[in-house]
Amino acid sequence: MKFSSAFSKLFKVATGIAAGGPLLIVLVIIIALVIDSIPALRYQGWSFFTGTSWNMGNAYASTLSIHGGEKAAFGASFGILPFIVGTLSTSLIALVIAIPVAVLTALILVYKVPKSLGKVISPMIELLAGIPSVVYGLWGILVVAPFVQHVLGPWLMHLGTIIPFLAGPIQTGYGLLTAGLVLAVMIIPIVTSTTRDLLMQVPQLPMEGAYALGLTSFEGIRFIALPWIRRGLFGAVVLGWGRALGETMAVLMVSGGAANMPANLYSAVTTMASAIAADLDSAMNDYTHMSVHALTLLALTLLVITLVTNVAARLLVYLGRRGPDVEVQA
Amino acid sequence: MNVSQPHRTLLDHNAKAKIGKRRMQSYTLWIVSGIFLAAVLGIVLMILGAVAVLGFPGLTAATFLTDTQGIAGGLQNAILGTLVLILASIIISGTLGVLGGMYIAIFAGPKVASVLRFATEVLSGVPSIIIGYFGYTMMVVSWGFGYSLLAAAISLAVLTLPYIVRTTEASLRQVPKSYYEGGLALGLTQEATLRKIMFRPALPGVLTGILLAISIGLGETAPLLFTAGWSNFNPSLQLLHSPVAYLTYVVWTYSQEPFAASHQLAYTAALLLILLLLVLHIVVRLLQRKKVA
């Protein structure tokens, strides 16, 4: 008895330590990133976030660039605005495409598709969420980039007289639009399945009331179901957005990888996540270590952006699920 | 029928036209929804079909029995490397995750539980490249692990840990509280109650979480790029200073090479990944059915 109660206590302590793991890991990552990125902030100042030139400098030059008491390779300048713009613009394109597609798909799945068919379709959409990002990248290279270059791009260019941003030239098909399209396909399953789960929680009675009042099925959805899940839906969208912000490999494969501000919809761009993946190798060759510090600050910036969006989204989904009426129904 | 009669007299021509317009709107939106659904399913089938068609010619015995060399070769090292990485990471994240999930579900008070749950959610929102970056600068460089199984497995474990914690907690919470109280009333310790009474009914859920974690780990590339490195040889099973090959790396790098043989290897690796994920997906479905039953 004594032994087993001692073991029980030990076990409890072990589970407590394990449960603290995620908290500890998050804190360690944030603290390590903050400490490691301070030199970059000292070297570059606040122009780190507003500068448009990302240049690790000439590691073989005989002199060093010194700013703010910190040494870096000659001519090094770290401005991450192109990466921020690339991240935001690709993910916004993805959202603009994904939201209507995902929400309408979820609606038809819940309200129109027969249950037996839905049992086949839902797993397929969930499978889409599980496809590795490199396979999406491969699909982007094989299908989406040529499609943008030869079909969608030339077609959109006709609108260029109205919206100059759509006027070409289209160069390789690898760029902003392609990355946005691939990201859209990656977040559609996330938003679809979350929206579907939320719609299933909408009680039958108000919907039937709406139909009884003579509303068409879509008016019922617009005035009853969508307002019902509003917060949760917003959360689902931001959740998808968070995924798009942090996506690395697929974007790395189809974005064209240029650290420039996009000139038009087809320009090659780079996102923060894919810049980290692409530049870490060469940054390690900078013996002043300033490039690594700069990448750390870039990583920290990305982390802060994704954490803020994710926390906001989860809070909203949580509040959305906690609606008193929804609980009664469940 | 008679009830609706008075209303019908109220409907003038104008109102009828309005209803027609609203019905049209509704139909149009459903048709658009149908097109979107078809498009999403079309994309799923297109991706799966393309990978199957392109990858199939590479599914030969040689692919499984030889290592990658230069621009081509087989995938033996990458397949074994992926399996070793997944196994090692699941040992870490499975242990931590199941224990942590137990604590949050059973032992923790409501306030502590909500803090820990929040931290878990936050961790699951950290982009995988940041975990990889952290793994590189911390483990590979600062701690001197080098490109290694241990650094890669820990990075993958950090990535998959939140999913295991979450599913373990959720499936333990679905077990009726009276089971737990009954166990304690019978004189069992908390640990014994948990292990012998609560864990059995929660097991399908816990396993689902672990399989989910495996499928996430299987498809990840970003956290492995700078922790596992790449090796043309089979995994050495050394924990430190010995790079490991993995399938997603083949898809990424070999698809960028200008050679047909490299492309074939990338397609085959992609097909293998999809097949493995499909199997995991089916097993998860079966487990979920068991959970419901």
ipTM of the complex: 0.86
B22: pLDDT confidence band, cut at 50, 70 and 90? confident
Share of chain B above pLDDT 70, in %: 94
B136: pLDDT strictly greater than 80: yes
Find residue A58's DSSP bridge partners: A74
User: Do A263 and A280 contact (CB within 8 A), yes or no?
Assistant: no
| Residue ranges in chain A assigned as alpha helix (H) | 2-44, 47-50, 81-111, 115-130, 133-139, 145-147, 153-157, 176-200, 204-212, 217-220, 226-228, 230-246, 249-254, 272-283, 290-321, 324-329
Question: For the CA atoms of A287, A255, A243, B255, what is the dihedral angle to 10 degrees?
Answer: -90
pLDDT for A182: 95
Question: Closest Cα to residue B155, out of B222, B96, B203?
Answer: B222
Give the model's confidence band at A320: pLDDT under 50 very low, under 70 low, under 90 confident, else very high.
low
- The DSSP-derived string for B201-235 is HHHHHHHHHHHHHHHHHHH--HHHHTTT---SS--
Confidence of residue A75 (pLDDT cuts 50, 70, 90): confident
Lowest mean pLDDT among A62-71, A259-268, B113-122, B247-256: A62-71
> How big is chain B, counted in residues?
293
Q: Is the pLDDT of residue B284 over 50?
A: yes
Provide the pLDDT for residue A325: 43
Q: How far is B272 from chain A (nearest CA, A)?
A: 11
Interface residue B126 vs chain A (CB under 8 A): yes
Query: Percentages helix, strand, coil for chain B, rounded to the nearest 5?
Result: 80, 0, 20
Q: How far apart are CA A291 and CA A72, in angstroms?
A: 8
Cα distance between residue B97 and residue B83, in whole Å: 20
The mean pLDDT value for B49-67 works out to 86
* Phi, psi angle pair for A266, to nearest 5°: -105, 0
- Are A320 and A229 contacting, i.e. CB atoms less than 8 angstroms apart? yes
Name every chain A residue with its beta carbon within 8 A of the beta carbon of B23.
Answer: 216
Query: What are A80's two structure tokens?
Result: 């991450």
The answer to whether the bond into A169 is cis (omega within 30° of 0) is yes
> Is the pLDDT reported for residue A92 higher than 90?
yes
Higher pLDDT, A162 or A46: A46
Q: Which domains does chain A have, with CATH numbers?
A: 93-274+324-329 (1.10.3720.10)
> Residue A45, Cβ neighbours under 10 Å: how many?
13
Burial category of A284 from C-beta neighbours within 10 Å (exposed 0-12, middle 13-18, buried 19 and up): middle
Residue A60, CA distances (Å) to A65, A76, A78, B19, B240 in order? 12, 12, 18, 76, 32
- Looking at residue A51, its pLDDT comes to 83
Q: Answer whether B100 touches A (CB < 8 Å).
A: yes
Average pLDDT of chain A is 84
**Contact check, Cβ <8 Å, B221/A18:** no
Residue B271 contacts A where some CB pair is shorter than 8 Å: no
Block residue for tokens 């999403």: B40
CA distance B217 to chain A (A): 9
pLDDT-based confidence at residue B1 (cuts at 50, 70, 90): very low
Q: Is A73 helix (H, G, I), strand (E, B) or coil?
A: strand
A101 within 8 A of B40, measured Cβ to Cβ: yes
Question: A128 vs chain B: nearest CA distance in angstroms?
Answer: 6
- CA-CA distance, A329 to B234, in Å (whole number)? 55
CB A234 within 8 A of CB A92: no
Instruction: Tell whether B114 lies on the interface with A, counting CB pairs under 8 A.
Output: no
Structural contact between residues A174 and A253, judged by C-beta atoms closer than 8 angstroms: no
More confident position, B148 or A258: B148
Average pLDDT, chain B: 86
Is A25's pLDDT higher than 90? yes
Q: Give me the amino acid identity at B164.
A: I
Confidence at A104, pLDDT banded by 50, 70, 90: very high
Q: What is the pLDDT of residue A326?
A: 41
From B61's Cα to the closest Cα of chain A, the distance in A is 23
Interface of B with A in 180-209 (CB under 8 A): 189-192
**Rounded distance between C-alpha atoms, residue A198 and residue A209, angstroms:** 19
Of the candidates A280, A266, A301, A316, the residue with the CA atom closest to the CA atom of residue A87: A301
**pLDDT value of position B13:** 65
Q: Read off the pLDDT band of A27 (50, 70, 90).
A: very high
Taking CB atoms and an 8 Å limit, are B34 and A32 in contact across chains?
no
Work out the average pLDDT over A251-266.
Answer: 84
Question: What amino acid is encoded at B57 in this protein?
Answer: P
Distance CA B100, CA B176 (A): 19
Please report how many Cα atoms fall inside a 13 Å half-sphere around the Cα of residue A182, on the Cβ side.
35
Q: Which of A13, A28, A134, A255 to mutate to test the interface with B (most CBs of B within 10 A)?
A: A134
Burial of B53 (0-12, 13-18, 19+ CB in 10 A): exposed
Q: How far apart are CA B102 and CA B38, in angstroms?
A: 42
Report the pLDDT value the prediction gives residue A327, as an integer from 0 to 100. 38
Take residue B286 and report the two structure tokens written for it. 């079966």
Is the pLDDT at A323 greater than 60? The verdict is no
Cα(A154)–Cα(B78) distance, rounded to whole angstroms?
40
> What whole-number distance in Å separates Cα of residue B8 and Cα of residue B101?
61
User: Tell me, what's the pLDDT at A330?
Assistant: 29
pLDDT in tens, B70-89: 777 888 888 999 999 999 99
The answer, for A97 touching chain B at a CB cutoff of 8 Å, is: no
Q: A42: pLDDT confidence band, cut at 50, 70 and 90? A: confident
3 state DSSP class of A77: strand
Q: One-letter amino acid identity for A4?
A: S
Q: What's the full length of chain A, in residues?
A: 330
Does B83 contact chain A (CB < 8 Å)? no
- Report d(CA B209, CA B49) in Å as an integer: 28
Q: CB atoms < 10 A from the CB of B186, how many?
A: 10
- Average pLDDT of the segment spanning A112-132: 87
pLDDT recorded at residue A3: 67
Average pLDDT of the residues in A56-64: 73
- The predicted model gives A272-278 an average pLDDT of 90
Q: Which of A321, A322, A106 is nearest to A221 (CA)?
A: A106
Which of A15, A128, A219 has its CB closest to that of B44? A128
pLDDT at A217 over 80: yes
Identity of the residue numbered A133: S
A292 touches chain B (CB under 8 A): yes
DSSP state of B159: H
**Which of the two residues, A52 and B292, has the higher pLDDT score?**
A52
pLDDT in tens, B197-236: 888 888 888 998 999 899 988 988 888 988 888 888 888 8
Size of interface A-B (CB pairs under 8 A): 251
A248 and B46: CB-CB below 8 Å? no
pLDDT of residue A263: 78
> Is the Cβ–Cβ distance between A188 and B41 less than 8 Å?
no
Judge whether residue B39 has pLDDT over 90: yes
Structure confidence at residue B291 as a pLDDT band (50, 70, 90): low
Average pLDDT on B161-176 reads: 91
Contact B159, B131 (CB under 8 A): yes
Nearest by CB to residue A277, choosing from B107, B119, B129, is: B129
> Which pair of structure tokens corresponds to residue A46?
């606040």
